Chain A
């Protein structure tokens, strides 16, 4: 039987073109879908390891690149363990893109803080690329990133080039340094105080582990960021991505469909947002 209508559960086949080890637990996979598949920055996809399962990830690559997609993935569970075994030439599945993504047009003319922790830099790398594509639209870009140790910093070489850009105010930190580390040591919330920005309009895009999201958001509020200008990537159990299976509901929203990026004012009163 062949339907004219699209089967929403079917993944598109994609080839693994390259695997880059970013840290002891994180790898980036460059994928080439066999059918057209594009996304807006901040939207996510379900990635399938055939016969094992799927899991949601937000692409870390440049949305304006149409033929390949990169996913930066930390090994934390059943599916990601299998993903980490993938090698060049292997086949995976992709479904999506889902969700709303970052409203870049609303960021125009404003200062934008890209604020990440650990593997949370993955979707933010895509956002940085999308911002660079139209960098003159924004007043200034601030990049703040923290990792547990120097070895946990991802995209090491790449983010160094951001440091040199005149449009970017750049600071990174680690929770614990080592002998070679010359940079800042301290939680990611300790590198936010020196930003000079217009707090009535400044935008913040935050992504990281739940604890960093929580205290990072509180710190931004303390600094004077407006609730409606803080864009949070919510990690929930997004199974179908279609607003049907029910798993990722938070209050009146489905993270998969109404998010996964929410401004803080929309979700601040809802139960379990930081868990």
Chain B
């Protein structure tokens, strides 16, 4: 177990001020009932380090929605040189999202150097959730409402400060630079943190039970079993093909390479794409593997709950609930999964 330290709230902001010199620091702020990522300037009332995940998925810091990835035939890599990001207050569900993103952009025969640079340079400071909202169901998807791995630094909010755990060399260096701000943390801090964690876990467990969300283990083979089911057409009835569910999803990674003229040169952009859009699988010759909206809805579930478990041993859902609240047609992933399991039995 990594060494633990304690940071008072005042010193936490002093730590961010030091980080700001070398990084662009982003953290969640609360507006109404939503939390959004905002670049940190100085301490403010709206900053929420605990609570739950922000509205935007973490992937937006690692693959930009629209990014130039080639200019003409030049071997020089476009842009870059900006300060790396320090992302403070990242939740565990988004860290599972990054596992899927890593599989796509890093762990293949081909590495996306733009993503890799972001991954290498950006500092991730996770924080424990201090509450759950109705749409949270992380526990069902094998995620706890706090991070145990994958972070550079994890912070657990307590009354007047944070329990700090270092998880990587990058994290250790960042803490060392301002080591005078940190004090040792004894077992009472850890015990208090564990009590808070257990309380939030209980909240999420109640959510999962109340909404009857099936767990990962119950989902094995469910797509194949229900491939020809009426569920898909039924659930797609209200879909308006807006693509919000894919844009907002921390595991969705699909993109489109788009070329445009940039003066005399060519600029190639990597742009987020959505498998819910009709043209997604369209080929120039006229073919389309999924012309019907319900086929595309099924495809989205197949990708997450059949493809990724098969190729990467991971269910590509984090239980963050963003698609539940983002869908204007009220298509609820928890309900769809429940129907899959019920209909198969």
Contacts and interface: CB of A to CB of B under 8 A. Distances in A.
Given A76-B285, A236-B289, A11 B255 contact: no
B77 A2 contact: yes
B344 interface: no
Interface string B258-279: 1111100110101001010000
A249 B310 CA distance: 13
Given A11-B70, A237-B280, A3 B285 contact: no
A7 B77 contact: yes
Contacts, number: 141
Contact of B113 (A7, A245, A249): A7
Best-surrounded residue of B77, B266, B283 (most CB of chain A within 10 A): B283
A78 B283 CA distance: 11
B257 to A, nearest CB: 5
A245 B256 contact: yes
Nearest to A241: B110
Nearest to B274: A246
Given A1-B77, A3-B113, 11 more contacts: A1-B81, A2-B76, A7-B75, A10-B75, A49-B259, A76-B285, A236-B283, A242-B110, A244-B104, A244-B112, A257-B108
Interface stretch (A16-24, A51-59, A62-70, A136-144): A51-59
A148 interface: no
Nearest to A244: B104
B202 interface: no
Best-surrounded residue of A3, A6, A80, A209 (most CB of chain B within 10 A): A3
A36 interface: no
A80 B81 CA distance: 37
Contacts of B69: 7, 9-10
Contacts of B72: 50
Contacts of A242: 108-110
Given A10-B75, A12-B73, A252-B307, A76 B284 contact: yes
Nearest to B79: A1
A86 to B, nearest CB: 15
Interface string B33-53: 000000000000000000000
A77 B284 contact: yes
Nearest to A242: B110
B259 A48 contact: yes
Interface residues of A, number: 50
Interface in A217-255: 235-237, 239-240, 242-252
Contacts of B105: 244
B205 interface: no
Interface in B51-103: 69-70, 72-77, 79-81
Interface of B: 69-70, 72-77, 79-81, 104-105, 108-113, 116-117, 227, 253-262, 265-266, 268, 270, 273, 275, 280-291, 295, 303, 306-307, 310-311
A249 B281 CA distance: 9
B257 A54 contact: yes
A264 B315 CA distance: 28
B259 A52 contact: yes
A2 B75 CA distance: 8
Contact of A246 (B75, B117, B253): B253
Contact of A3 (B77, B259, B261, B306): B77
27 contacts: A1-B77, A3-B117, A5-B116, A9-B268, A10-B74, A10-B268, A11-B70, A11-B73, A12-B73, A50-B259, A51-B261, A53-B259, A93-B73, A235-B285, A236-B289, A240-B255, A242-B108, A243-B110, A245-B255, A245-B256, A245-B273, A246-B255, A246-B273, A247-B280, A249-B307, A252-B310, A275-B288
Interface of A: 1-3, 5-13, 34, 48-55, 76-80, 93, 209-210, 235-237, 239-240, 242-252, 257, 271-273, 275
Contacts of A77: 284-285
Contacts of A79: 284
B70 A10 contact: yes
A65 B281 CA distance: 34
B8 to A, nearest CB: 39
Contacts of B256: 239, 245, 247
Contacts of A236: 281, 283, 289
A272 B255 contact: no
B107 to A, nearest CB: 10
Contacts of B275: 246
A9 B289 contact: no
Nearest to B284: A77
A198 B211 CA distance: 59
B74 to A, nearest CB: 7
Contacts of A11: 70, 73, 268
Contacts of B70: 7, 9-11
A56 B269 CA distance: 17
A143 B108 CA distance: 37
A181 B265 CA distance: 48
Contacts of A3: 77, 113, 117
A245 B289 CA distance: 16
Given A210-B287, A245-B255, A51 B111 contact: no
B113 A252 contact: no
A117 to B, nearest CB: 12
A240 B257 contact: yes
B258 A53 contact: yes
Closest 5 CB pairs of A and B: A77-B284, A272-B289, A246-B254, A51-B261, A50-B266
